[in-house]
Chains A and B, each alone.
Chain A
Amino acid sequence: MHGEYKVPGGKLVVVDLEVAGGTIAAVQVSGDFFLEPDSALDAINAALRGLPADAGEQVYADAVLAGLPAGSQLFGITPEGVAIAVRRALGLAAGAPA
């Protein structure tokens, strides 16, 4: 399942994921944003894995924020933007999955 969200004033956040047993089983966040350190991308993916597949935006955004390594810097991507792309991939939000 695939969802995209253009962060206002930022870059495109893309989420590809698979759901199994009502939870997010596999997830890949990608896009033309900037992250320091670059390992923060794996941390974001790991933070989303295992979350319920029917949660609200805040649950996903909080998980992403909590999962980021200390001192991470985000440019063009936000936890809220990731959460919206996740919800779009899950078919839970406005903006139909591509």
Chain B
Amino acid sequence: MTRSTFRDHAWQLVHEPPQSPALHMALDDALLDEVSAGRRGPTLRIWEWASPAVVIGRFQSLRNEVDMEAARRHGIEVVRRISGGGAMFIEPGNTITWSVFAPIDMVEGLGFEQAYALMDEWVLQALGELGVQAWYQPLNDIASPAGKIAGAAQARRGRAVLHHVTMAYDIDAAKMLEVLRIGREKLCDKGTPSAAKRVDPLRSQTGLAREAIIAAFVDTFRRRHGGLAADTLRAHELARAQALALEKFSNPQWTALVP
């Protein structure tokens, strides 16, 4: 079996204006199907958030992970994604989030760790070019000397694999701790000082605006892998994602699938 590489594919970039948390969940679901079916080419999608959110992993218990009363109080939407992994706390402008939709033959025969490492390589290079020393930390984190800065999750479906990542740009840790039920022990384990009010490794280490970091990421991806033509969502893709956002990802039955 011959595995393909990033350079073997004509990558497309989708970077739309801010969208709701439920629509983001739905877009990952819908575009994974599109790439699997060959209707869409390999794609890098960069997310812009229209509103704050807690995103829990496919197998996490809603009740165990989220303080729903605190989420309501702060106007935070709670959604469940299609991939496993841990909960993320999102406020617009505070994280950098993206999805890579790749052909499955890029990771076929690779173990999970190798597949995560492969999909993170380009962004580790980009961080290095910005002066941020960072590495893939198994199972699914990206770490820097200051601690964890990002978490990744993969989902394989048909002929495609989704690899999405959320990276902390400038997180309000105090608010995060109100909403997420993270033990202090786990927080320390992740290298985040529990007394910190903000977790801002990218902002403080690069001195760059979030938009400038995203532009640098895109530039590195393009240089390293070639292509990355600007693209937009097709009408049928958006329609399917909007239907999924309404019927699945805004549906309390899905959010509380693991109550």
Contacts and interface: CB of A to CB of B under 8 A. Distances in A.
Contact of B57 (A9, A10, A16, A32): A32
B258 A34 contact: no
A31 B59 contact: yes
B259 A28 contact: yes
Main secondary structure of the interface of B (DSSP, over half): loop
B138 A35 contact: no
Interface in A34-76: 34-36, 38, 41, 73, 75-76
Contacts of A75: 84, 112, 139
* Contact residues on B (Cβ < 8 Å of other chain), bracket: 20 to 34
B139 A11 contact: yes
A17 interface: no
A28 B258 contact: yes
A30 B61 contact: yes
Contact of A32 (B85, B138, B259): B85
A9 to B, nearest CB: 7
Given A11-B139, A73-B112, A75-B139, A32 B156 contact: no
A31 B59 CA distance: 6
A14 interface: yes
Nearest to A77: B59
Interface in B49-73: 57-61, 64
A73 B61 CA distance: 20
19 contacts: A9-B139, A14-B61, A16-B64, A28-B61, A30-B61, A32-B87, A34-B85, A34-B112, A36-B156, A38-B58, A38-B82, A38-B84, A41-B59, A73-B112, A75-B84, A75-B112, A75-B139, A76-B139, A76-B140
Interface of B: 57-61, 64, 82-87, 112, 138-140, 153-156, 186, 258-259
Given A32-B59, A75-B112, 19 more contacts: A14-B61, A14-B64, A16-B61, A28-B258, A29-B59, A30-B59, A30-B60, A30-B64, A32-B84, A32-B85, A33-B84, A34-B59, A34-B112, A35-B59, A35-B84, A38-B82, A38-B84, A73-B112, A76-B84
